[in-house]
Amino acid sequence: MPDDMLPDAVLPDAMLKVEGLTSHYGRIQALKGVDIEVAPGELVALVGGNGAGKTTLLRTLSGVQPASGGRVVFEGQDITQAKPHARVKRGIAQVPEGRQVWGPLSVEDNLRLGAVLRRDREIAQDLERVYAMFPILKERRRQAAGTLSGGQQQMLAMGRALLTKPRLLLLDEPSMGLAPILVEQILTSVADLKRQGVTIFLVEQNAFAALKIADRGYVLETGKVVLSDSGAALLANERVKEAYLGV
């Protein structure tokens, strides 16, 4: 789709606005001008194949991968050059691909470090909320995080991100490498979070599962958004079906 076909603002009150975002690894361009918007309270899915630039996009949004061009606007503020911790402070949290828990630290320490920037008095309360959401984590709170199973580590990574008290949660492939029953459980908790008012930007290779729970979706191919529509419409889209749903 040529750029001039995209209206300037699809959502007048977008929480996150990404405009023409580019990013490079050395001389290789991984993002070639990405435009994405997420409104408050939405669950937006980004689907695409291996190497499409999904993880690069999320890392650029969190500031751990530099943007080489374009803008990232969060709640009206340009944060394109902001440091990662400044973005967390503003309310952007990410659950990274492959969980990335701190293996030798205890489950509870992993969670508490999610709140490292917070000074409010609700940390203990939020910790209990995460334990209520994932009771297995409470059971194993003194255990080293590295001894948890893959699914439990995914829960821990989500819990840790929730303890930053995010307004926008970026999820990178939460279902990767998990058994189908766990995929279901994880995606159910994602949908629960949305119901609790957290805005979610979900990146998935498992396009079917992601689009099923998403309000809207984008399709990323070789560093560019090639399609965007409601979740249901994308599920029915012939091109999406053929390329990503294996139908």
Partner 1 sequence: METFLQFLFSGLTVGAVYAIVALGFTIIYNASDVINFAQGEFVMLGGMCTVFFSLWGLPLPVAAVAAVIVTSLIGVALNKLAIEPARGANVVTLIIITIGASIFLRGLAQVVFDKQFHRLPSFSGDAPIDVLGATLTPQSLWVMGGAAVIVVVLWYFFTRTTFGKSILATSHNRLAARLVGINVELVLLTSFALSAAIGALAGILVTPITLTSFDAGTMLALKGFAAAILGGMGNPLGAVVGGLLVGIAEAMGAGYLSSEYKDAVAFVIILGVLFVLPSGLFGRRGTERV
**Of 5-13, 15-23, 74-82, 149-157: span binding partner 1 (CB under 8 A):** 149-157
Which CB, 1 or 116, lies closer to partner 1? 116
Structure-token pair, residue 124: 């203990």
User: How is residue 10 annotated by DSSP?
Assistant: S
Residues facing 29 on adjacent strands = 24
**Interface positions, 185-244, toward partner 1 (CB under 8 A):** none
| Rounded-to-integer distance, Cα 39 and Cα 242, Å | 29
CA–CA dist 53, 44 (Å, integer): 16
Q: Are the C-beta atoms of 100 and 175 separated by less than 8 Å?
A: no
Place of tokens 């560093």: 223
* Region from 2-10, 68-76, 108-116, 201-209 binding partner 1, contact rule CB under 8 A: 108-116
CB of 6 to partner 1, least distance (A): 29
- Is there binding between residue 153 and partner 1 (CB under 8 A)? yes
- Residue of 10, 150, 222, 224 that binds partner 1 (CB under 8 A): 150
The reply to whether 149 sits near partner 1 by the rule CB under 8 A is yes
Residue 22 C-beta: closest distance to partner 1, Å: 21
Among 140, 160, 167, 194, binds partner 1 (CB under 8 A): 160
Q: Dihedrals φ, ψ of 97, to 5°?
A: -60, 135
Interaction between residue 84 and partner 1 (CB under 8 A): yes
Interface with partner 1, residue 81, by CB under 8 A: no
Residue of 75, 109, 215, 229 that binds partner 1 (CB under 8 A)? 109
Binding pattern for the stretch 31-70 against partner 1, x by CB under 8 A and - elsewhere: -------------------------------xxx------
* Count of beta carbons in the 10 Å neighbourhood of residue 97: 17
Residues 209, 187 contacting (CB under 8 angstroms):
yes
Query: What is the b/e burial string over 41-65, where b = at least 16 CB atoms within 10 angstroms of the residue's CB?
Result: ebbbbbbbeeebbbbbbbbbbbbeb
The piece of 21-29, 105-113, 184-192, 220-228 that touches partner 1 (CB under 8 A) is 105-113
- Regarding 100 and contact with partner 1 (CB under 8 A), the answer is yes
- How many CA atoms, within 13 angstroms, populate the side-chain half-sphere of residue 243? 16
Structural contact between residues 46 and 220, judged by C-beta atoms closer than 8 angstroms: yes
**Contact positions toward partner 1, by CB under 8 A?**
62-64, 83-85, 87-89, 93-94, 96, 100-105, 109-110, 112-114, 116-117, 144, 146-150, 153, 160-161, 163-164
